[in-house]
A = this chain, B = another copy of it.
Amino acid sequence: MAVSMDDDVPLILTLDESGSNTLAPNEELDREDLPNENGGSYDIVNDVSSPATGDYHSQQRSAGHNWEMNYQEAAIYLQEGENNDKFLTHPKNAKALAAYIFVHNHLFYLMELTTALLLLLLSLCEAPAVPILRLGIYIHATLELFALVVVVFELSMKMRWMGFYTYIRHKRTMVKTCVLLVQFVEAIVVLVRQTSHVRITRALRCIFLVDCRYCGAVRRNLRQIFQSLPPFIDILLLLLFFMVIFAILGFYLFSPNHSDPYFSTLENSLVNLFVLLTTSNFPDVMMPSYSRNPWSCVFFIVYLSIELYFIMNLLLAVVFDTFSDIEKRKFKSLLLHKRTAIQHAYRLLISKQRPSGISFKQFEGLMRFYKPRMCARDRYLTFKALNQSNAPLVSLKDFYNFYEVVGLQWKAKRNREHWFDDLPQTAFLIFKGINILVKSRAFQYAMYIVVAVNGIWILIQTFMLQGGNFFPRDVPWSYIIFLTIYGVELLLKTTGLGPIEYLSSGWNLFDFSVTLFAFLGLLALAFNMEPFYFIVVLRPLQLLRLFKLKKRYRNVLDTMFELFPRMASLGLTLLIFYYSFAIVGMEFFSGVVYPNCCNTSTVADAYRWVNHTVGNKTVVEEGYYYLNNFDNILNSFVTLFELTVVNDWYIIMEGVTSQTSHWSRLYFMIFYIVTMVVMTIIVAFILEAFVFRMNYTRKNRDSEEDNGIVLEKEVAKEEIAGVIELYRRNCVASETAQLQKVITQMDKYGQTSMLFLGRRSRTKSDLSMKMYEEEIQEWYEEHSRKAYQWQEDVFPSSTPLQSSGLRQRSQTVT
């Protein structure tokens, strides 16, 4: 076998690991010649996303520096793996790469987001606008056009990066383009006609937000919702089927009773049973027939038992089941996608000379593009952490851990236990005492008791007040006492534990902010600042501290915090649905309900507003429901929230229906079903997450307290010297400041090596890894069985940046 001994030529190997065997003899040499490698001129590009990089890159290329190119492409592969981007959209040539780099940076992402938000927020100012935000047609249409032009620019960049064929085959992007076109035409029409027409298409503006890089979680949620739809629809049909049967039955049974308005026609019967499904009209819908014949309640009891208590729960069960299944499959595909990305990157990083692994030089080159902000010390530590076999090269097997290791935050392991260890003896003893006190159970329980007493005090105090203005003239003494106690606690804890350790616990952070708020409240009271009174009112929140007491609550609240990002993204998804429905609602129902609007309908009372005098007193009879309207987007959101809560939603529906046509009911019913889908998914999500966590803790009951992933690495002095030497040779000595500092520290304490701790918080993915431990091995095997095919299938079609050329070259060399 003729292997080129040219030191610096990357080799693209097929991924069967035979190479490592045939080239094994070279491995021993690598460690020694590591610093001697000439890795090209190390002009460090600090920001992978600077627009200049494109040019720089092509210069590099023309100079024949293949490594830089490989590093960058490998970094891109790893990013694609992390973001779950398809490799089909991998940039295929230098021009595409330039566009890719231009597009993939936070500045661009922010621009995307702002444009999308601007477009969405425009509906605050358009036609049925929020009164104080109303803008002239010229202004908002021009703003819209401007935003749309920015979107056009974004899309053209995307096309440049993806290539035309991939672009038109990418569904989401195509939909976005179509929506863009429609919006453009409509915006121009508005400008020309100088009046807004019925623009339901504005409901589609959400796509601009959904397509944002930062809204990946929302996209995932939407995908999950759509994937859960088929079983959902199946059960929904069952539900509707029973509804129809009962509607026919109800019509036959109750329509002879003329005092029963709910079943007078089949349509009424259907609508009222649909509403009954939500229980919203429950006893009322039964009452007329019940007053005639008590046994008619059987009809309603059977209906509710079947529909509400059985099929609705079945719906949840089916969605929950699908959801857990999808979660698992998603985890699997993400895992395998990452693995493939790592394989791609690995191919680009091994050199002809050392085909059995990645040397630090190559790894460093990769990290410059993948994580430009990471300092040299951390890069070296990451490399060490990856390198489990402690060989000079990182093999593919070790490199598979890339994503787990790269997120670690490195810190030198401190020798001292407390922050005050270096202080003089007396001070040390004092602080040590405080430390012991603060950590003692007695202190904790004393604080719990104080909080409980405070809580009861507040409750009693509030109970004594009876209406009126509560803003006291002077600060109550109880407030000062409790605040003093909390202040002392805060002081003791910060001094006893050190501010860093103190604030590293979420609960302490909570205590801190509550105490701070209480202090602000005191100021507000002392200086009579009434608008800040709400701070005083928030005081009872500190009772939450009591929930530290029980393990289950800690568990629940921890889960709550863990779930928070996903919950927020689900909430955002719901808001996107809200937005679309709000736009449609505003276009059709804006201004249709007002006080006393619905006097002919069955819900007239709820909309009544009468101001009459009885004797010499003015009595206002207010139904208030006219407030639940679609007059502007904010009102619409509130109305839609009320519809989501479901109770009495039919009053809103009937009110609007009586003022428009009875087809309006369709809008409300569809909205109900959509929110039912989303809500069921939210419930399924909470269930899944919680049950998963409980199962996890049950499985690992005797394992250590959960405080994230921790890795320990020891680094010798000469290693660091070697790394510094490497950097110096490559003229980037400026990056080695951290490493120099490490050496200085070692000298100071007279150590020859130093321990570092890598730490990161545990993610759902880590939990899943542990839960599906056994299955993961199967997946991997299955995946590697397909690996050869993948080599053959994926590569020729998507021809990555250099590989084809290189493969050719390596063939010629061979």
Q: How far is the CB of A582 from chain B (nearest CB, A)?
A: 15
Q: Are B642 and A282 in contact (CB under 8 A)?
A: yes
CB closest residue in chain B, given A534: B253
Question: In the complex, A691→B634 CA distance in Å?
Answer: 40
* A263-300 to B contact mask, C-beta < 8 Å, 1/0: 01110000000000001111110011011001001000
A690 on the interface (CB 8 Å rule)?
yes
Partner of A467, one of B255, B281, B291, B642: B255
Q: Are B683 and A627 in contact (CB under 8 A)?
A: no
Q: Which of A151-159, A378-386, A537-545 contacts B (4 or more CB under 8 A)?
A: A537-545
Residues of the B chain whose Cβ atoms lie less than 8 Å from the Cβ of A679: 309
A348 on the interface (CB 8 Å rule)?
no
A686 on the interface (CB 8 Å rule)?
yes
Known A-B contacts: A283-B624, A314-B556, A317-B690. Give 18 more (CB < 8 A): A248-B537, A249-B537, A253-B537, A258-B467, A259-B620, A266-B463, A282-B642, A284-B624, A290-B624, A290-B627, A291-B622, A294-B635, A313-B683, A313-B687, A318-B690, A321-B695, A325-B698, A687-B687
Q: Which of A438-446, A645-653, A744-752, A796-804 contacts B (4 or more CB under 8 A)?
A: A645-653
**If A318-B690, A467-B256, A647-B279 touch, does A556 touch B235 (CB 8 Å cutoff)?**
yes
Residues of the B chain whose Cβ atoms lie less than 8 Å from the Cβ of A301: 641
**If A682-B313, A694-B321 touch, does A241 touch B543 (CB 8 Å cutoff)?**
yes
Question: In the complex, A34→B281 CA distance in Å?
Answer: 74
Q: Are B235 and A628 in contact (CB under 8 A)?
A: no
A473 on the interface (CB 8 Å rule)?
no
Looking at A253, A313, A320, A635, which has the most chain B CB atoms within 10 Å of its CB?
A: A313
Q: Which of A196-204, A546-554, A719-727, A781-789 contacts B (4 or more CB under 8 A)?
A: A546-554
Question: In the complex, A605→B540 CA distance in Å?
Answer: 37
Question: In the complex, A686→B297 CA distance in Å?
Answer: 25
Question: In the complex, A301→B313 CA distance in Å?
Answer: 25
**If A468-B256, A552-B231, A624-B288 touch, does A245 touch B683 (CB 8 Å cutoff)?**
no
Q: Are B538 and A645 in contact (CB under 8 A)?
A: no
Q: How far is the CB of A103 from chain B (nearest CB, A)?
A: 36
Q: How far is the CB of A423 from chain B (nearest CB, A)?
A: 42
Partner of A553, one of B238, B297, B553, B627: B238
A812 on the interface (CB 8 Å rule)?
no
A226 on the interface (CB 8 Å rule)?
no
CB closest residue in chain B, given A682: B309
The interface size of chain A toward B, counting residues with CB under 8 Å, comes to 97
Residues of the B chain whose Cβ atoms lie less than 8 Å from the Cβ of A294: 634-635, 638
A560 on the interface (CB 8 Å rule)?
yes
Interface residues in A515-544 by Cβ distance below 8 A to B read 534, 537-538, 540-541, 543-544
Residues of the B chain whose Cβ atoms lie less than 8 Å from the Cβ of A537: 248-249, 252-253
Question: In the complex, A72→B468 CA distance in Å?
Answer: 80
Interface residues in A617-668 by Cβ distance below 8 A to B read 620, 622, 624-625, 627-628, 634-635, 638, 641-642, 645-648, 651-652
Question: In the complex, A645→B646 CA distance in Å?
Answer: 13
* A308-345 to B contact mask, C-beta < 8 Å, 1/0: 11100110111011001100000000000000000000
Residues of the B chain whose Cβ atoms lie less than 8 Å from the Cβ of A324: 691
Q: Are A645 and B553 in contact (CB under 8 A)?
A: no
Residues of the B chain whose Cβ atoms lie less than 8 Å from the Cβ of A291: 622, 624, 627
A600 on the interface (CB 8 Å rule)?
no
A703 on the interface (CB 8 Å rule)?
no
A396 on the interface (CB 8 Å rule)?
no
Residues of the B chain whose Cβ atoms lie less than 8 Å from the Cβ of A625: 283, 287
Interface residues in A566-619 by Cβ distance below 8 A to B read 567, 605
CB closest residue in chain B, given A281: B647
A251 on the interface (CB 8 Å rule)?
yes
CB closest residue in chain B, given A295: B634
**If A647-B279, A648-B284 touch, does A467 touch B264 (CB 8 Å cutoff)?**
yes
Residues of the B chain whose Cβ atoms lie less than 8 Å from the Cβ of A624: 283-284, 287-288, 290-291
Q: Are B556 and A628 in contact (CB under 8 A)?
A: no
A459 on the interface (CB 8 Å rule)?
yes
Question: In the complex, A645→B314 CA distance in Å?
Answer: 18
Question: In the complex, A288→B622 CA distance in Å?
Answer: 9
CB closest residue in chain B, given A698: B325
Residues of the B chain whose Cβ atoms lie less than 8 Å from the Cβ of A234: 550, 552-553
A388 on the interface (CB 8 Å rule)?
no
A390 on the interface (CB 8 Å rule)?
no
Residues of the B chain whose Cβ atoms lie less than 8 Å from the Cβ of A540: 244-245, 248-249
Question: In the complex, A160→B83 CA distance in Å?
Answer: 74
Question: In the complex, A294→B165 CA distance in Å?
Answer: 50
A458 on the interface (CB 8 Å rule)?
yes
Q: Are B316 and A248 in contact (CB under 8 A)?
A: no
A700 on the interface (CB 8 Å rule)?
no
A304 on the interface (CB 8 Å rule)?
yes
Residues of the B chain whose Cβ atoms lie less than 8 Å from the Cβ of A620: 259
CB closest residue in chain B, given A263: B467
A808 on the interface (CB 8 Å rule)?
no
A466 on the interface (CB 8 Å rule)?
yes
Q: Are B287 and A467 in contact (CB under 8 A)?
A: no
A734 on the interface (CB 8 Å rule)?
no
A470 on the interface (CB 8 Å rule)?
yes
Residues of the B chain whose Cβ atoms lie less than 8 Å from the Cβ of A470: 252
Looking at A259, A467, A695, which has the most chain B CB atoms within 10 Å of its CB?
A: A467
Residues of the B chain whose Cβ atoms lie less than 8 Å from the Cβ of A281: 647
Question: In the complex, A635→B294 CA distance in Å?
Answer: 9
Looking at A249, A282, A294, A647, which has the most chain B CB atoms within 10 Å of its CB?
A: A647
